[in-house]
Structure 1
Amino acid sequence: MSGTTLLINLAGSIALLLWGTHMISSALLRGFGTQLRQWLGQNLTNRWMALACGIGITGVLQSSTAVSLMATSFTAAGTLSLAPALAVMLGANIGSTLVVQLLSFDISIVTPLVLLVGFIVFRLRDDSRFESLGCALIGLGLMLLALRMLGATLGDVEGSAIFQLLMRSLDGELLLALLVATVLAWVCHSSVAVVLLIASLAGAGLLSPSTSMALVLGVNIGGALPSLVNAGSSVARRLPLGNFLVRLSGVLMLLPWVPLLAQPQLLGQLPPALLVVGVHSAFSLVLALLFIGLTAPLAALLTRLLPEPERVVDPGMPLYLDESGLEVANIGLANAAREALRMADMLSSMLSRVLQLLRTSEQANADEVRRIDQSLDLLSAAIRAYLADIGKEGISDQDADRSQEILMFVINLEHAGDILSTSLAQLAARRLRRGEHFSAFELGTLYPLHREVLESLSLAVTVFLREDLPTAHQLVNRKEVVRRLEAMASREHFRTLREDKSAWAESGDIFQRLLRDYRRVHHHIAALAYPALERAGERDINGGLVGDGLADAPDTIDRKEPEQCAS
């Protein structure tokens, strides 16, 4: 077989191995992410349990590299803490030695069986969990197939005269042998396949005991490199760096003793193939025993070395919509309610920016209102999708009512933000671009409306959190207060226009539309009281309130600038 063909087969085997790893991790996260997160959190707090878990997972996946890549993704996502993840990797290193011993036997029949079972499970029924399990089994079958292809390719390489000459030239050159094995294990992305190749070469008499041991140590370093190189962030690099440092420490401690251990009176008398497998197994086992008690200090050191970078978070990205809440309705609803309160804070910020825009001619305030509204819309869409997922498995009537209350809260705040961004702020900016600042009279009539909207928003949050019926009545009654304020401001404005013939008609029209927009915003905020009133049975079929009285509106407009508006 030509060198080009060997390289193509080697690259294809590695690609298939990596794709199988990706299929397993993505399928397990997609179908069992919540259960897996809960299981890891409950069972991997004990480092010995984490060690055993690493051995078991590696035994199933047949690759410590696959376990390293999966554990790295879990750690970067926050699913798995760093200290137990390091213990998992110590177990994975032991598990890879068991895989080497297993693959020394003929298990070629297992690969098609795993692929067949995976396909049957995938097509068994229309259930996302069965599909995910089937994809994971198919990924495992592809990994086993890739290991067989990789072993066959390396077997062809082993038979080449150039490769045999290279192996013989390594005799006595321990550092060079260490480097060659490191690069080979890194390129192949499989320490198992390279250890099997070394055992085969040693059994054929091409390697001395000391060279075989040096090559095994190099494989342990190279097996830690793929996940370290593939890590995309500083947080993701913590676990593979820790695994690399543990292996490197073990190599540095053992390498000076290799010539002594290779003496015939010690390990040199063992059969060459058994020597390779035995050294590989003993190395991983001793490392696990040495470092199992140091996982917490090592995790702290890695966290200091690779701190999480400061990120500029888009306010529109949800912070509390955790997938685990989808399984327990009350937790999911609490998560959605926390995000809804963030929307109320955003709307309050938009109101503050609108007030600054009314006072000044800075276009940056209008731009900021538009930017916050985009974040508000994005967060609203995420909350609505999350609420829809909570109801997929069926929820109680009480939880369904709470879900509707949150949905109504979110939609009304989103509509209020749209009015502020697309109408009110744009109208104010239009006048300011023409150099027409709002007069003292206009600002004096807008301040009370602004103050009422802010106070109603605070009341709406109280009703949303506590379902306080007196507060809900107060919030609905304020609709009439705002209506009267708008009507009084509009009458006084027309009276001013009749007295001032030089006033621009368009400017007056913009001011009237601003008054109307403030009332529209307040309408959406006041509507947040209705779910609590409906639950208490205090709303009639026409949408009115049973037995409530409207608060009296003030006879005069307070034109003093409210301090809460200035904040």
Structure 2
Amino acid sequence: MSKPIVRLLPYFFVGFAFLSFNAAYAQPTETAEQQVDWLQLGMGLFGGLALFLAGLDLLSEGLKKAAGNTLRDVLQKLTVNRFMGAATGAFVTGVLNSSSVTTVLVVGFVTAGVMTLAQSVGVIMGANIGSTVTAQLLAFNLSTYSLIAVALGFFMTFGSKNERSKYMGMMIMGLGLVFYGMGLMSDGMEPLRSYEPFLEILASMEQPLFGILAGALFTGLVQSSAATVGIAIAMASEGLLSLQAGIVLALGANIGTCVTALLAALGKPVEAVRASVVHVLFNIAGVLIWIPFLSILADIAVNVSPAAAEGLVGKDKLAAEVPRQIANANTMFNVLNTMIFIGFTTAFARLAERLVPDRPEPKDKIIQPDFLDDGALEAPTIALENARREIERAGHIALEMMDALGKGAEHHDREALDAVARRDDEVDILSSEIMKYLGRIRQSSLTESESETHQKLVSAIINIESAADIVESDMVELLKIFIDGDYAESSETTRDMVQGLWTCARESLELAVQAVGNSDQRSAQEVLLLKDDIRTLSDQLFERHAKRLDIDEPRYLERVRLLMTFIEQLRHMYTLTKRVAKTQLPVEIATEAA
């Protein structure tokens, strides 16, 4: 059984349990106006909610896997200004059915320096608009046909061998469960249509502060604004909820969803916390400015929504009209807020930076990861890109080690060589953290493409760490012996050849790191093209000194031995960088270059 399905089993279990009790113990009410079967109502409401949440989770999972890297690339390329950022954020969130995934993407871009915090504000604003797509779908009330979608999605998920068809099946099955859960909640609440105490509670929901508080608390509890708006639409479809009450619950859901953002930011880098703070500031400010104008928002929603069929009156009329009105009011609220605040993205960013200042670097830590965000683990494609960035960072440290080693050798600086050796600890720490992170990614359900990328990244970090170890444990020690023994005498020809070999090895490491960091096949191919230069120079050096091994001078022979060993280490370095480069090339090209 696939891991996404296993992860949803608790939802299915709860829903199945409630439905089973419903079938076994439900009894007809004695008087529709006075008697409410609370067991039956609870089973319908909470069982429906469990299936509703399970469907949302499955729908989001299928969308994320079907979208792959496409939406991430769209988000990165189309955020050139605040308006495009907002539009892109709305589009990506609407497709992914998750504003949290969009926020994770944004945080990753800000952390990597690809996007500024001010640019991210526009995307976060747009994400709020995209999150209303779910409410618009729910207002169609397709629960009558929901089991068709569940059955179709199930057979597509488990019966298809094509990956894309499986993910489409997950989406269809998830959407069917969403509507089926909505139908169960709606049917379960039908007895409440004439239960006066409950109607009085719903009437109090029209009081803005009470309704907003209720919506915020429930959203914070279930960690889903879509669930809050979905229940509001389900109640409205039974004629239980007025438009005013539905709007204030939706406003409360916009505040409650900030709890998810704040929880996700706990213990995260400063950029992640700032993005969450922007989310909170924007949502709270948007709710506050609309409280005095709720009646205006309600009037606009009524005017833009279709009227009920003729002949309907009372609760039947409300049941036909209010669900769509709530969905439209929710969308307009977020669209209008974005239009109002889009001009203040820089102000939001500066305020977030003031509220969340830069943290001082921990003095007791040698180094810590910059990109390994646990929140991204919900979207493996994003998490893999985070790991890729951290691997690139480790590779740059290895490159800096090699540069420092060259300078230390040139100036016969033993202290500089000791500093190079200490930097290897940084690579070792990052490598360990990256491997742990990749292990956690592996626990998720990965597509074939993601699994392939995962294997390539594992290979890349192992070989980059090994290259750094060669610099630290082999080259540094060889150069120390060379300096301490005063073996510096050598011909200008030998020095030039060694320098040329060194340059080729260093270039291969730089190109390999670039190939991994940017998924750059051209750089990877350039690493392979250095093979002939490396082989020619090393062979010439071996041949040049092999001819002189008959010289009976122990000091000379020791210098040759050290030189030959150093050349071997440079060749080994190239072998490792070639392995890194091959991870970024198609299998057929990598195999030919073996």
How big is the shift at 1:248?
0.3
Equivalent of 1:20, from 34, 42, 55?
55
Partners of 2:44 and 2:188 within 8 A in 1: yes
Which residue of 1 is the match for residue 71 of structure 2? 36
What is the RMSD of the two structures over their aligned residues, measured on CA atoms?
A: 6.3
Structure 2 CA distance for aligned equivalents of residues 250 and 42 of structure 1: 33
Equivalent of 1:90, from 112, 126, 129?
129
Q: Equivalent residues in 2 for 1:64-463 (5 A)? A: 66-78=97-109, 82-90=121-129, 92-93=131-132, 95=133, 98-99=136-137, 101-103=139-141, 107-155=142-190, 162-167=197-202, 170=204, 173-184=207-218, 187=221, 189=224, 190-196=227-233, 199=236, 203=239, 212=242, 214-231=244-261, 232-233=264-265, 234=273, 237=276, 240-241=279-280, 244-245=283-284, 247-255=286-294, 273=318, 276-277=322-323, 280=326, 283-284=329-330, 286-287=332-333, 290-294=336-340, 296-307=342-353, 314=369, 343-349=398-404, 359=414, 366=421, 368-369=423-424, 371-372=426-427, 417-422=468-473, 442-445=484-487, 456-462=501-507
**3-state SS of 1:175 partner:** helix
Which residue of 2 is the match for residue 400 of structure 1? none
Partners of 1:10 and 1:150 within 8 A in 2: yes
**3-state SS of 2:143 partner:** coil
Structure 1 CA distance for aligned equivalents of residues 339 and 536 of structure 2: 62
Structure 1 CA distance for aligned equivalents of residues 331 and 98 of structure 2: 17
TM-score (norm 2): 0.55
**Count of aligned positions:** 457
Segments of 5+ residues of structure 2 without an aligned counterpart are 1-35, 110-114, 266-272, 301-312, 362-366, 373-379, 385-390, 443-447, 512-522, 580-594
Segments of 5+ residues of structure 1 without an aligned counterpart are 262-269, 327-335, 394-406, 429-437, 496-510, 532-567
Structure 1 CA distance for aligned equivalents of residues 550 and 189 of structure 2: 87
Q: Which amino acid counterpart does residue 372 of structure 1 have in structure 2?
A: V
Which residue of 1 is the match for residue 554 of structure 2? 491
Structure 1 CA distance for aligned equivalents of residues 393 and 279 of structure 2: 35
Structure 2 CA distance for aligned equivalents of residues 98 and 31 of structure 1: 22
Which residue of 2 is the match for residue 545 of structure 1? none
Describe the shift of the 1:377–1:255 C-alpha distance in structure 2 as closer, same or farther (beyond 3 A).
Answer: closer
Structure 1 CA distance for aligned equivalents of residues 541 and 435 of structure 2: 26
Q: Which amino acid counterpart does residue 209 of structure 2 have in structure 1?
A: L
**3-state SS of 2:487 partner:** helix
Structure 1 CA distance for aligned equivalents of residues 277 and 572 of structure 2: 48
Structure 2 CA distance for aligned equivalents of residues 421 and 260 of structure 1: 72
Q: Deviations over 1:371-409 (max 9, x none)?
A: 536757999999xx9xx979989xxxxxxxxxxxxx999
Q: Which amino acid counterpart does residue 230 of structure 1 have in structure 2?
A: T
Partners of 2:43 and 2:188 within 8 A in 1: no
Structure 2 CA distance for aligned equivalents of residues 442 and 515 of structure 1: 15
Describe the shift of the 1:99–1:6 C-alpha distance in structure 2 as closer, same or farther (beyond 3 A).
Answer: same
Describe the shift of the 1:155–1:348 C-alpha distance in structure 2 as closer, same or farther (beyond 3 A).
Answer: farther
How big is the shift at 1:76?
3.7
Describe the shift of the 1:513–1:114 C-alpha distance in structure 2 as closer, same or farther (beyond 3 A).
Answer: farther
Which residue of 1 is the match for residue 585 of structure 2? none
How big is the shift at 1:7?
6.7
Structure 2 CA distance for aligned equivalents of residues 371 and 195 of structure 1: 52
Structure 2 CA distance for aligned equivalents of residues 522 and 259 of structure 1: 73
Structure 1 CA distance for aligned equivalents of residues 63 and 487 of structure 2: 60
